[in-house]
Amino acid sequence: MNPPYIHVPFPPTLAEKRAIVTTSWDDGQATDFRMMELLSSFGIRGTFFVPLRFKGRPAPLAEALPEIPGDFEIGGHSANHLDLRGLNAHCLREEVEGSKAQLEARGGAPVRVFSYPMGRHDAAARRAVRKAGYLSARITEEYCVHQPADPYQTPTTLSAYPLTRWRRLLREFRAYRWMNVAFLARNWNRTWRGLAVELFAQARRRGGIWHLWGHSWEIERLGLWEQLGEVLRAVAHHGDVHYCTNGELAELLSAVPLPAGKTALTP
């Protein structure tokens, strides 16, 4: 399987920067406010992907959109946090387009980016997201520091989660992502924090995008706030790094033409 990313020249508008740092946090739970405080303390920006309802209950952030600090952005994460694959056209429109309109009406700001619930998507879901007017959509693939070939399949660099090394390796192996298998084998002794810092070094060395994502409710449940703080401290306040939200990144990247022979994957 081909990875949904390509290595293209860095956005020319950022010529003086070596890397881009962005973060994204899913599900719109109350612990997101703690996440915003932590990110703010390091000057790191981010996008909060908010469903209208999560596990049948209103998502706390969806009810409190005007309270979100200006450094952060709200992105769409569907109406009911359902697997979007195989939904009929009407339901798909409600989940993708209807939820966008709701978030915009409540928050008074445009909602420009989307994250597929549970990272699950198919061609119809990607088309629906593009047609609804989103600039990009995040998937849950990791270990990427390059520009996505398809903005509607934007991969990430790492999830803030202490997955065991064997499970990490197995997941990439089963998806035939051999470059990721090789990367994990080379970095076998690193914890998730070690991988995060190593991938940041790679992004800075080669000119790339470092995108950390996760769930604040999971960070809370697993007691990972301190570990996350360590990672954020390592990537914060670098003069040669541009810090932005997912939407700002999508805007920057949309100005970069795809290399010859490449066409947009989501029609």
Verify binding: residue 32, Zn ion, rule CB under 5 A.
no
* Closest CB to Zn ion among residues 24, 157: 24
Place of tokens 């700002």: 248
- Provide the minimum distance between the beta carbon of 158 and Zn ion in the complex, in angstroms, as a whole number: 17
* Closest CB to Zn ion among residues 27, 95: 27
CA 215 – CA 223 distance, rounded (Å): 12
How would you class 40 by CB atoms within 10 Å of its CB: exposed for 0-12, middle for 13-18, buried for 19 or more?
middle
For 176, the token pair is 């035939």
- E-only strand ranges, the chain: 5-6, 19-26, 46-50, 53-54, 57-58, 72-76, 113-115, 136-138, 147-148, 158-159, 208-214, 241-243
- Provide the minimum distance between the beta carbon of 51 and Zn ion in the complex, in angstroms, as a whole number: 7
* Closest CB to Zn ion among residues 28, 148: 28
Which single residue brings its beta carbon nearest to Zn ion? 26
* Closest CB to Zn ion among residues 26, 95: 26
- Provide the minimum distance between the beta carbon of 262 and Zn ion in the complex, in angstroms, as a whole number: 30
Question: What is the torsion angle, in degrees rounded to the nearest 10, for the CA atoms of residue 85, residue 52, residue 71 and residue 112?
Answer: 50
- Provide the minimum distance between the beta carbon of 161 and Zn ion in the complex, in angstroms, as a whole number: 13
Q: Which stretch binds Zn ion (CB under 5 A): 7-15, 33-41, 116-124, 175-183?
A: 116-124
Verify binding: residue 95, Zn ion, rule CB under 5 A.
no
Whether 194 and 228 have beta carbons less than 8 Å apart is answered as: no
CA 226 – CA 217 distance, rounded (Å): 14
DSSP 71: T
Q: Which stretch binds Zn ion (CB under 5 A): 59-67, 83-91, 110-118, 218-226?
A: 110-118
**Which of 21, 26, 44, 138 is in the footprint of Zn ion by CB under 5 A?**
26
Verify binding: residue 27, Zn ion, rule CB under 5 A.
yes
- Provide the minimum distance between the beta carbon of 27 and Zn ion in the complex, in angstroms, as a whole number: 5
Residues that bind Zn ion (CB under 5 A): 26-27, 117
